[in-house]
Structure formats: structure tokens, C-alpha cells
Amino acid sequence: MPPALQPPLRDPDALRRTGWALGALLVLWPLLLIAEFNPADLFDARNLAVMGGFLGQFLPPNLSGDFLALVLKATIETLAMATAGIALAMLLAVPLGLALTHSLSVSRIGPGPDQGLGEFLRVLARFALLILRGVPELVWALLLVRAFGLGPAAGVLAIALTYGGMLGKVYSEILESGDTRPARVLLESGGGRLMAFFYGLLPGAGQELASYTIYRWECAVRASVIMGFVGAGGLGQLMDQSMKMLNGGEVSTILIVFLLLVLLADAISVFLRRLLA
Amino acid sequence: MGFELDRVGLVHANGQAQGQRALRAVSIVAARGERLAIIGPSGAGKTTLLRILATSIRPTEGRVSVLGAHPWQLGAGELRRLRSRIGFIHQAPPIPPRQRAITAVIAGRLGQWPWWKSALSLLYPADIAGPRDQLARLDLADRLFDRCDRLSGGQLQRVGVARVLYQRPDLLLADEPVSAMDPALADLAVSQLHSEAQSRGVTLVASLHAVDIALRWFPRVIGLKAGEIVFDLPPAQVSDSVLRDLYASETALPSQDSEPFHPHVEHAQEAAGAARASVAPPRVI
């Protein structure tokens, strides 16, 4: 090889990488200042005493039979709300996410006919997902409570809308980040978009899709609690009442139930990943 | 009804290779049932040429006609039907590791089956005998229900060949179809491609690094170098000197501080003589 064609003995990307790292630090520092983040406050003796007093109210947890029955009913309501919400969210997210996925685009091969139309539909899908997840679920809930009245129905739809937006976006990103060649090859031999997904992408991405969906279900359980505060029922509403009555023992029982639910979600996720491995 | 390439050229429009020329003025006419081998050094444009025939890339110059149609003038539906009649065997089999061999083979018919039949086949295969017969042709019937991540590189490559045989295409393109197989299996696989081509009148085009396979099996051998056709001959006329010219490296000019050997000649002999030298099995990502 002539000397001119030999690559230099120095990493040509080093300068660029250092630049990006320094730039990120320069941006982060003022952001911390704006957010008034001062870790020392956390360990100030007076603040510690106040926090300790607050936490002290939560002990012992209220484990009386009557209250546990209430908690059980509210837990089931919360689980139903989160599960129904995620199921509806998937109905939104799967078609939009698949529409967004470049590696499932037939018109990009070549590029072939209708490429403009395909790109236009992808932009529409991206925009729809943006609006869905751009509005916080609490705002959706406040809006929908006016249509459906107080109760879980508003919460379910609010979760479906916001989480549909999140799931759709992340589904398409998961699908793009794996090996997309199998799907592309199926499209190149005349297969349809949906079957290219099932035969080409799902075997590789199934685990990732399932565990992300379960994680979002876990988030939906927490979100449904917050929406309970605005009257959407479930554990949130119960917690709201306990807080208003300054009943720390009841609040801590509900918090323990949350921890158990997160643990449950984790177990389901591990189980599903093992099943799909 | 084979294909026709008329002064086809390709300059990459985007990506890392932007502005680079992959093919220049390539003209080939092949009749139905003809069998062609394409040989040439790495980077000569063999894969690009096959992908143009497969209608997966659109050339920037010249005209393409495949199976009697001009692919880039077709509507979306017609193009899809045309593509379902073209089979492409990839060097690295494009098969998800978590898929079973039978599902990977069935995927060859996705372009022909209605969507509900393909969807139901995920639950229970709509055809078991067909995929098994195709795997049996390649001596792999016993792995029908095994997952592809349990297979070796050569076995996986045979699953990829079986998928395309199951597709029953009218134009069969193969990009280094036997690179991960041992000589005996490579011969078996190539012989199956030939019997498929002869029995059904399929046009077969294969790019090969193993020059001996190309000369032994194919009635027509095309040499491709730096994106251009160097020769288009029956195998009997592909002499050692023709092969040396084909594989001689252009960049390896004899250097000023004269080394004791001639790297370009050695390279050519290696390629022409021992081209069969085993190639590492492709990694499945």
C-alpha cells in the first residue's frame, strides 16, 4: 500500500469525543444550578429531624382487617385500571409503532414506488405518537373525568393515550436497534410488512418488547395511583383520603402494597424473558 | 424471460460509500434456464450486481429487465409480486437465531401465501412436508424442528438455501451460497441449485469465491473486477492467465524499495488455485 493510503497512527475521533464530553459538562452545570439542587440540604440536621418526624407518622402500618379489605378492593381496582389501560395502549402502539419502523418499509427498498406516501404516513404516525405522549396522563385524566365522571374509566383511557404514545415510540426504536436484515430480506422477496415483522423481527425483539411492556405496566400502576388523587378510584383515591385524614399508618400500608406490586411486575418480567429466551 | 441488464451502473447515493462507483456499464442478457457464475475479487461488485437483479437496489444508470418486467416502472403491488418470484440466497443467512428451522424455511413463501396462512403458520406450520423435503435435499431433514441458534454456520447456510428452494422462484440468485460449507456439502448444495434450475427452467446466477466450483458446475462464467465485466466465457475458455488477470491486485504496485516477492502475483495464484480455501463461517448477529 502506498504511504499516502495508510491511516494515521492516531485515533482521528479522539478530539471530537473529548469535545462532546466537555460540551455535555458545560450544559449540565448550569442546569443543576437552575434546579436549585444542593445535596448538602439533605443532610442538614434540622431538615433530617423534620423528615424523620414525617416518616415517624407512618409507623406502625395499619393492618386491621377492615382496612385491609378496603386496600384489597382498591388494589384490584388499580390493577384492573393499569392492565386495561396498557392493553388499550398496545392497541394504539402496535400499529403506530410498526408504521414508524423504517426497516419494515417496503417503499424504501430501491427506493420503490410510493416512497413519498410512505414517508408522509410515517411523519403522521410520529406526530400522533408525539401528541399522545406529550400530554401528561394527569391532564388526560382531568379532561376525561369531565366526560366519564369520577371513577376508573377516565384513568384507564388516560393511561391508554399517554402510554400508547410511549409504547409506540419505544417499540419502533427496539425494532430498529436489533438485527433488521431478516425483515428486510423478507420484504425483498415479496413478503408483507406485518409478516416481515412476525417472521423477521419478533423472534429477535420479542424479549425486549415484552419486558418494556411489563415495565410500562408497572409505571401504569404508579400512574393510576396519581390519577386516583383526581378521583379516578383505586389505591390512589384511598391514599388521598388517608393523607387528608393525616392517617400515616394507612398510608404506609398502601406504600407496602405498592412495593409488592412492583415486585410482582419484576417477577412477571423475569418469567416472560425466560419464557421467550 | 431470464433477465437483461443494459449498461447498468451504480454510484452510491448516500451512506459511507457516498459517491463511490460500484458498477460501470454492466450488460448481461440471460435466457430462461441459463446458469451463470460470477467470480471476481472482493469488492468487485458481485453482491451489488445480484442485488440489482433482485430488485433490492435501483441502479443509477442503465436499464434492468427481470423476468420480462421493468421492475422500477411497476406499481407497488406488481413489484411485490415480481419480488416473490425472485429468490435470493444470502452469504450470511438472514434468519433470526431464535427461529426454528421449519419457520425459517416457511418464510420463503410469505410473498405467495395470503397473510392469514402465514400468521397461522406461526401457531402451527401450514406445511411440514414441504420444508422437510427441501431440508432433506441438503441432508438436514433431522434438524427440521431445531432452533437456528443450535445450528452450525454451514447448517444455517443450508437452511437459507432450503428457504429459497421452498420459495420456488423463477429467478434464483445466490451470493456466496456455500462459503461456510465443507467441500462435499458445497458440492451437494450447488448440485441441488442446478437440478432445481434444470428441472423447472429457473435462471440461476451465483457469485462464488470458489473458482473451481464455478468452472466445474456453470456453463457460463462472468469475471467482474472493479465494477466492470472483464470476461463472459464458457468455463473451458477461462484459462489460468485470465484468472490471474482477474485477481491481480491493482493497488499492489511493485514498491520502490523492491521487496523480494511480487505480492500481486502471489495473491492471484492463491485466489485461482486454492480458492476453495476454507472461509470462516459467517457470524450470526
- Given the C-alpha cell 386495561, which residue does it identify? A84
Contact B115 A194 (CB under 8 A): yes
Neighbours of A41 (CB within 10 A): 9
Nearest to B72 among A5, A110, A185 (CB): A110
Classify burial at A112, counting beta carbons within 10 Å of its beta carbon; exposed 0-12, middle 13-18, buried 19 or more.
buried
pLDDT at B19 over 80: no
Q: Are strands B203-207 and B220-225 parallel, antiparallel or unpaired?
A: unpaired
Q: Report ipTM (2 d.p.).
A: 0.83
C-alpha dist (Å) from residue A180 to A66, A125, A200, B202:
55, 20, 7, 29
Contact A204 B96 (CB under 8 A): yes
Q: What is the pLDDT of residue B284?
A: 39
A104 chain-B contacts, CB cut-off 8 A: none
pLDDT at A107 over 50: yes
pLDDT at A37 over 80: no
- Give A24 or A229, the one with higher predicted confidence: A24
Of the ranges A86-100, A113-127, A231-245, B97-111, which one carries the lowest mean pLDDT score? A231-245
How far is B51 from chain A, CA to nearest CA, in Å?
A: 10
Buried b (16+ CB within 10 A) or exposed e, B249-268: eeeeeeeeeeeeeeebeebb
As a CATH number, domain B1-82+220-250+257-285 is 3.40.50
Classify burial at B221, counting beta carbons within 10 Å of its beta carbon; exposed 0-12, middle 13-18, buried 19 or more.
buried
Please state the rounded mean pLDDT for residues B100-107: 95
**Coil vs helix vs strand at A230:** helix
Q: Are strands B61-66 and B21-30 parallel, antiparallel or unpaired?
A: unpaired
User: Are B36 and B206 within 8 A, CB to CB?
Assistant: yes
**Coil vs helix vs strand at A11:** coil
* Digit-coded pLDDT (tens) for A222-239: 888 888 877 777 888 888
Q: Residue B251 — pLDDT band, cuts 50, 70, 90? A: low
A5 chain-B contacts, CB cut-off 8 A: 251
* Digit-coded pLDDT (tens) for B129-187: 999 999 999 999 999 999 999 999 999 999 999 999 999 999 999 999 999 899 999 99
User: Taking the model in full, what pTM does it have?
Assistant: 0.80
Instruction: Report the residue of chain B nearest A3, measured CA to CA.
Output: B255
Contact A182 B95 (CB under 8 A): yes
Show the cell assigned to B141.
431433514
CB-based contacts of A266, cutoff 8 Å, min separation 6: A218
B92 chain-A contacts, CB cut-off 8 A: 181
* Full DSSP string of B80-120: HHHHTTEEEE-SS----TTSBHHHHHHGGGTTTS-HHHHHH
Buried b (16+ CB within 10 A) or exposed e, A60-82: ebbeeeebeebbeebbebbbbbb
pLDDT at B18 over 80: no
Classify burial at A36, counting beta carbons within 10 Å of its beta carbon; exposed 0-12, middle 13-18, buried 19 or more.
exposed
First to last CA, chain A: 47
Q: Which domains does chain A have, with CATH numbers?
A: 63-276 (1.10.3720.10)
A196 chain-B contacts, CB cut-off 8 A: 110
Give the torsion sign (CA, A21, A27, A28, A30).
positive
Q: Are strands B35-39 and B203-207 parallel, antiparallel or unpaired?
A: parallel
> How many percent of chain B have pLDDT more than 90?
75
Please state, rounded to an integer, the average pLDDT across all residues of chain B.
86
Q: What is the pLDDT of residue A47?
A: 81
Show the cell assigned to B83.
419480488
Q: Which of residues 181-210 of A touch B (CB under 8 A)?
A: 181-182, 184-186, 188-192, 194-196, 198-201, 203-204, 206
Q: What is the pLDDT of residue B268?
A: 43
Helices (H), chain A: 14-34, 45-56, 65-100, 115-134, 137-148, 152-177, 181-188, 193-196, 202-227, 234-244, 248-276
Instruction: Name the DSSP class of A36.
Output: T
Neighbours of A246 (CB within 10 A): 9
**Coil vs helix vs strand at A99:** helix
Instruction: Name the DSSP class of A109.
Output: T
How far is B141 from chain A, CA to nearest CA, in Å?
A: 21
- Give A244 or B163, the one with higher predicted confidence: B163
Please state the rounded mean pLDDT for residues A153-167: 91
Q: What is the pLDDT of residue B275?
A: 40
Contact A5 B251 (CB under 8 A): yes
Contact B80 A109 (CB under 8 A): no
Q: Count Cα atoms within 13 angstroms, Cβ side, for A53.
A: 6
Q: Residue B108 — pLDDT band, cuts 50, 70, 90? A: very high
CB-based contacts of B178, cutoff 8 Å, min separation 6: B157, B185, B186, B189, B190, B208, B210, B213
Cα distance between residue A130 and residue A124, in whole Å: 10
Please state the rounded mean pLDDT for residues A131-154: 85
* Digit-coded pLDDT (tens) for B215-238: 999 999 999 999 999 999 999 999
Nearest to A204 among B55, B72, B98 (CB): B98
